[in-house]
Amino acid sequence: MKRPVFSFRPNMDHADHRQAWEILSRVPEGQKNQYLVQAILEVQERAYLEKVIRETVREELKSGGMPHPEASVRETIPNQMLDFLSKLESSG
């Protein structure tokens, strides 16, 4: 079976093409094919994981499975603070 041939010809007028070329040119010779294979597969995996996470969050929000924070938790004022304020009030 013949191996398919792929040619990468970046358009240096585009910033993203220039950046991609700079990155690819730093990859050692003999490792460029593996680098491109890995990059392509990682992009696919990231897209798949993002889709799964979005679906999971959407399902949890629909089912109400995620806990809601309590509306307002009252903080208690320490007795020392109340005593201090009381003394200020009575001395004035």
Whether the full predicted model's pTM is greater than 0.75, yes or no, is no
**pLDDT of 79 higher than 80:** yes
Q: What is the pLDDT of residue 34?
A: 96
Q: For the segment 18-27, what is each residue's pLDDT rounded down to a tens digit?
A: 999 999 999 9
pLDDT at residue 71 is higher than 70? no
Q: Mean pLDDT, to the nearest integer, of 57-63?
A: 90
**Cα(42)–Cα(50) distance, integer angstroms:** 12
Name the packing angle between helices 15-25 and 32-63 (round to 10°). Answer: 120
Distances (CA, A) of 83 to 38, 88, 89, 90: 68, 9, 10, 11
Residue written as tokens 């993203």?
16
- Residues 1 and 12 sit within 8 Å (Cβ to Cβ): no
Q: Is a pLDDT exceeding 90 seen at residue 86?
A: no
